[in-house]
Homo-oligomer: A and B are copies of this chain.
Amino acid sequence: MTSRKEHALKRRDLAVNKLTSLGDRIIDDVAKQTVPAIRVPSRGTSNIVYDEDRRYYVLGDRYGQRSLGNVKQIKKIGQMVYMANFCKGLVQTGKTATLREMYYVSEGWDIDFGDQQESNIVGEDLEVTLGITREDLGLMPEEDGASVYGDITLKDDDVEINAMRMGKSGYTISPTIDEVELLDHNVERVIAVETMGMFHRMVQENAYKKFNTLIVGLKGQAARATRRFLKRVNEELGLPVYICNDGDPWGFHIAMVIISGSAKLAHVNHELATPNAKFLGVTASDIVNYDLPTDPLKDIDVLRLKELYKDPRYRDEFWKVEIKKMLKIGKKAEQQSFSKYGLEYVVDTYIPEKLDAL
């Protein structure tokens, strides 16, 4: 087995090669006296398809041509080449930059961006053109990932970390999680929860012992680093992943993006999606069966539920039934609402019953 460090170095070599070849192709074109052009896979809606086998969105095979022969495309190509060159420097020195920093760095170039939105899009162009992730190019998201508590040992550079020996808030998944080695663990599963309130409840009620589990605090919509971590523990360590979110369309979809990826990131879902992860959060049936404190669905909740009903990622019978039921009862409930029965109830009663019912 190769170590994560070798793996990371290989990915870096690959990134440098791909970045270099982008420039080489342009130089070759010039040498051959043809007009330089770059093929950029299309990210338009019509080229985003749900792959039934892989169970996530992928890009189709349509692409656009960016040519230096087209006056409108010259600036775009210039930006791409400048950014590719900057990224090559990052990867070669083992550094990273945030998208925000990348945007400001361009202020020192001869060719600049109108705003950060524009530089972000060129970053995605580069990702999709080269077929590697932004993180492989050294471009990191601003935000950290989830918190992890439980008996897993990681190696980040030369530091060994045990996520049960880092204080009550556990280990924070850093944007560079791909370079972190999963050394050892002593758990049977992974339970991710939507809020840090629930994370601390799980830690305090010893859920990590009771269920022999890692506890992951998602902090809302899961960061890319969190999704990489969940995919890696699922696929590299063979641990089942359960997502225990609130019982509303937003909680459902935070889970679904972890499971089946997002349409917007169709070109990198193969690196991010964990199709074997399971939703174990609050359902409409739970709201009824546990007589939970609820809030009425707002118009925007109803609208969102109807969208999810039509979304191919929700085509399982389970989702059809639960979405229809939630629309019918017109109510939603948060996971913390189980506190009605005492703070311990969610760990002592609810989660065991949900795990049993799987």
Contacts and interface: CB of A to CB of B under 8 A. Distances in A.
A143 interface: yes
Contacts of A168: 156-157, 174, 176
Contact of A96 (B108, B169, B204): B204
Interface in A270-298: 293
Interface stretch (A45-53, A97-105, A313-321): A97-105
A167 interface: yes
Interface string A133-156: 000000010111001000000101
Contact of A340 (B107, B337, B342, B343): B107
Given A105-B342, A108-B342, A147-B144, A161 B171 contact: no
A169 B174 contact: yes
A166 B147 CA distance: 12
Given A293-B104, A334-B100, A167 B159 contact: yes
A339 interface: yes
A95 B142 contact: no
A161 B169 contact: no
Contacts of A55: none
A105 B340 contact: yes
Interface in A160-187: 161, 164-176, 180
B161 A197 contact: no
Contact of A144 (B165, B169, B180): B169
A245 interface: no
Contact of A172 (B105, B108, B167): B167
A172 B170 contact: yes
A157 to B, nearest CB: 8
Contacts of A262: none
A213 interface: no
A196 B176 CA distance: 13
Nearest to A142: B197
Contact of A167 (B102, B174, B293): B174
Contacts of A101: 197, 201, 336, 339, 343
A164 B159 CA distance: 9
- Taking each of A169, A204, A342, which has the highest tally of chain B beta carbons within 10 Å of its own beta carbon? A169
Please provide the 9 A-B residue pairs with the shortest distance between their CB atoms, ordered closest to farther: A169-B172, A104-B339, A98-B197, A169-B174, A168-B174, A156-B167, A101-B339, A107-B340, A142-B197
30 contacts: A95-B204, A95-B343, A97-B339, A97-B343, A98-B201, A98-B336, A101-B197, A101-B201, A101-B343, A104-B334, A104-B336, A104-B337, A104-B339, A105-B343, A107-B340, A108-B340, A142-B195, A142-B197, A143-B196, A144-B196, A156-B168, A157-B168, A159-B164, A161-B167, A166-B172, A167-B172, A167-B174, A168-B176, A169-B172, A169-B173
